[in-house]
Amino acid sequence: MTATNLPFAKAAGTAPRPTASRSAKLRTRRLRTRLAADTALLVVAVCFALPLLWLLLSSFNGHATMRTQLPHPFTLGNFAAILNAGTTFTPMLNSLVLCGGATAVTVVAAALAAYPLSRYRSRLNRPFMLTILFSTSLPITAIMVPVYGLFVQVNLIDTMWGTMLFLATTQLPIAIWLMKNFMDGVPITLEEAAWTDGASSMQALRKVVLPLMGPGVMVVTIFTFIACWGNFFVPFMLLISPDQLPASVSLYTFFGSYGTVAYGQLAAFSMLYTTPVIVLYVLISRKLGGGFALGGALKG
Amino acid sequence: MTAVTTATAPAASARLRRTTLRGLPVVPSVVLLLLFLAGPIAYCIYIAFTDMQLTGASGTHFVGLANFRHAFADPGFRNAVVLTLVFTFLSSIVGQNTLGLGLATVMRRASRPVRTLTGSVVIAAWVVPEIVAGFLLYTFFRQEGSLDAILGWLRLPRENWLYTLPILAVSLANVWRGTAFSMLVYSAALGEIPQDVTEQAEVDGASGWQRMWHVTLPMIRRSIGTNLMLNTLQTLSVFGLLWVMTRGGPGNRSQTLPLFMYEKAFQDSLIGYGTAVALLLLVVGAFFSVIYLRLMRAEV
């Protein structure tokens, strides 16, 4: 079939209604398609689930190996062994401080920046937004070597707040982009009322706009936090002291550097480290309607 | 209007003041982006033309293009370029993109529970932090791991994947980790196609492939473009996943550009050389970003 004789594309709307027997045939064909589709999806699901299943099963397994197998013996010992300050609590707390701080900086800066971009017309808006969009897709990995050099020069290396500000900046472009798009969805009339009542633009932002775009702010916040929580390379490069390392790096240094790995404990730690982001993701996907909207939100 | 023309100078200065005042909220973001993003990029360009070393024994000298000449003559660099191309092509363009589109398409025909289950599993693989994903897939592909057990159970030839074909193993790992994004983008795109268009094509007797090729793909071509760009950019800068799974080994058979850059800068202490490689990576990334920008231009 060539592009020139496309009956279904040209005759759209003018084709006769399908007859009863044809629609019955169509229905059985759909049923067969559904069965094939279900089978294909289940095969893919099993492939994707296997590594995750290893994580779940091994964390409760007293003799965990690299294979996916039922816990034998079933135990909570792996969790008990790692629930101490050095292994779990300090890195988790560091992660929380690092990512919480970075998220706070990103969200506040992004909300402030999004306001004039969304509300006032200026010749600078378009170039600014294009630059932002450009920076959302720059490979941050590539600038980590110079960032390391720069941090050594200005004595920010191995400082929590320096790493936090850098982490915040890496997330800032996408946060500004998302925040501006959410803010564009809030009608301007309510603010105009606030302005006539004598509110400053910052008051209008805080009291009118942000509360109205609550779900949007929440999505940006959680999205930023998830990205920071999972980030390995930035803290791996910029933090050195073992007592400052977040969970992503301590997971690697603790389990990656020993000859014989305690797989059960590795799995248990990974479970504790992964659970918060799964929970947060479920939260935003609810907000966005089943999670399938996030892809749409990300591409604008 | 006459007031404006007669009092041009005060009006212009008032307008300038108003613009400045209105632009004030953007300042924190701009400062962060200049300090932590533009600064390092400028510094990257500077160091790439010097012989800076981590040990700092002999000071830093301007060496012109020596680092780049060195790179193009370095078999290690060429190896890294080839592996990066293979890794990007296999995992991003063939793997994530095609599998993502396939999943999104098949999901529209599948029954609801299967669709939800598969979607959740694939997204879970995406949400899991990079380092955890690295460990999970390391255990999956290792000689004593789950894949080996499955192959043995199916009586298929067994192989030490991380040794014989490390680049294939890490590419599959990246497919595992990144397919959800494409799936979400394509689900959103397919959802926007008016249903009567595809239904009419079906009634007119177009086969599944014909509908895909002549109706669906042309209608989502913009999403395909953005998705390919974003996938490629993300894949170009993967570090943690590879670092945990193979550290670029065995030898340098899975050493993509980010890992090569890291090794040169920190293990061989050649910051200047490592940064030159980083700059090349950044330029390639910027090139893809510009293409992405052109695709997105209508939405800014």
Q: How far apart are CA A8 and CA A18, in angstroms?
A: 13
Nearest CA among A231, A91, A247 for reference residue A170: A231
57-96 of B, contacting A, C-beta below 8 A: none
Chain B contact probe: residue of A66, A150, A280 with most B CBs at under 10 A: A66
**At B103, which CATH number?**
1.10.3720.10
Identify whether B223 is part of a domain: yes
CB pairs under 8 A between A and B: 320
ipTM here: 0.84
Identify whether A81 is part of a domain: no
> What is the number of alpha carbons within 13 Å of residue A57 lying toward its C-beta?
18
* Residues of chain A neighbouring B274 (CB-CB closer than 8 A): 145
Q: How far apart are CA B108 and CA B216, in angstroms?
A: 13
A45 and A127 both lie in a single domain: no
Most confident region among A257-266, B87-96, B248-257, B285-294 by mean pLDDT? B87-96
Q: What is the pLDDT of residue B128?
A: 92
Last residue of a domain, one of A75, A104, A123: A75
Asked whether the beta carbons of A146 and B47 are under 8 A apart, the reply is yes
Taking CA atoms, A234 is separated from A158, A178, A228, A275, B295, in Å, by 11, 23, 9, 21, 29
* Residues of chain B neighbouring A258 (CB-CB closer than 8 A): none
Verify whether the Cβ–Cβ distance B129 to A229 is below 8 Å.
yes
Q: Average pLDDT, stretch B259-270? A: 87
Residue A110 touches partner B, C-beta closer than 8 Å: yes
Domain count, chain B: 1
Distance from CA of A217 to the nearest CA of B (A): 17
Q: How far apart are CA A141 and CA A250, in angstroms?
A: 19
Identify whether B49 is part of a domain: no
Q: What is the pLDDT of residue B55?
A: 63
pLDDT in tens, A223-233: 899 999 999 99
Identify whether A235 is part of a domain: yes
Identify whether A17 is part of a domain: yes
A167 and A277 both lie in a single domain: yes
Verify whether the Cβ–Cβ distance B187 to A295 is below 8 Å.
yes
Comparing B211 with A48, the larger pLDDT belongs to: A48
Q: What is the pLDDT of residue B60?
A: 76
Identify whether A138 is part of a domain: yes
A62 and A176 both lie in a single domain: no
Residue B287 CB neighbour total at 10 angstroms: 10
Verify whether the Cβ–Cβ distance B25 to A202 is below 8 Å.
yes
pLDDT in tens, B221-234: 888 888 888 888 88
Comparing A97 with A212, the larger pLDDT belongs to: A97
pLDDT tier for residue B174 given thresholds of 50, 70 and 90? very high
Whether residue A291 has pLDDT greater than 90? no
Asked whether the beta carbons of A175 and A111 are under 8 A apart, the reply is no
Residue B281 touches partner A, C-beta closer than 8 Å: yes
Domain count, chain A: 2
A41 and A105 both lie in a single domain: no
Q: Average pLDDT, stretch A169-183? A: 91
Verify whether the Cβ–Cβ distance B127 to A278 is below 8 Å.
yes
Whether residue A290 has pLDDT greater than 70? no
Identify whether A244 is part of a domain: yes
Whether residue A3 has pLDDT greater than 70? no
Segments forming the whole domain that contains residue A43: 13-75
B87-96, B169-178, B212-221: least confidently modelled range? B212-221
**At A113, which CATH number?**
1.10.3720.10
Comparing B8 with B241, the larger pLDDT belongs to: B241
Q: How far apart are CA B296 and CA B300, in angstroms?
A: 7
Q: What is the pLDDT of residue A15?
A: 46
A52 and A96 both lie in a single domain: no
Whether residue A42 has pLDDT greater than 70? yes
Distance from CA of B3 to the nearest CA of A (A): 23
Phi, psi of A61 (to 5 degrees): -100, 125
Verify whether the Cβ–Cβ distance A145 to B149 is below 8 Å.
no
A193 and A274 both lie in a single domain: yes
Identify whether A267 is part of a domain: yes
A170 and A269 both lie in a single domain: yes
The stretches of chain B forming alpha helices (DSSP H) are 2-6, 8-23, 27-33, 39-47, 66-73, 75-87, 98-107, 112-127, 130-141, 146-153, 161-164, 166-191, 195-203, 208-211, 217-219, 221-236, 240-245, 257-262, 271-296
pLDDT in tens, A139-162: 888 888 889 888 988 888 999 999
Segments forming the whole domain that contains residue B263: 66-299
Verify whether the Cβ–Cβ distance A146 to B275 is below 8 Å.
yes
A144 and A221 both lie in a single domain: yes
A192 and A229 both lie in a single domain: yes
Identify whether B132 is part of a domain: yes
CA-based radius of gyration for chain A? 26
Chain B contact probe: residue of A63, A137, A278 with most B CBs at under 10 A: A137
Q: Average pLDDT, stretch A113-119? A: 89
Taking CA atoms, A107 is separated from A169, A217, A222, B221, in Å, by 11, 8, 10, 33
* Residues of chain B neighbouring A113 (CB-CB closer than 8 A): 25-26, 28-30
CA B134 from centre of chain: 16
Last residue of a domain, one of A53, A75, A97: A75
Last residue of a domain, one of A75, A107, A125: A75
Identify whether A162 is part of a domain: yes
Q: What is the pLDDT of residue A238?
A: 93
pLDDT tier for residue A19 given thresholds of 50, 70 and 90? low
Whether residue A79 has pLDDT greater than 70? yes
Q: Average pLDDT, stretch B70-91? A: 90
A46 and A94 both lie in a single domain: no
Identify whether A1 is part of a domain: no
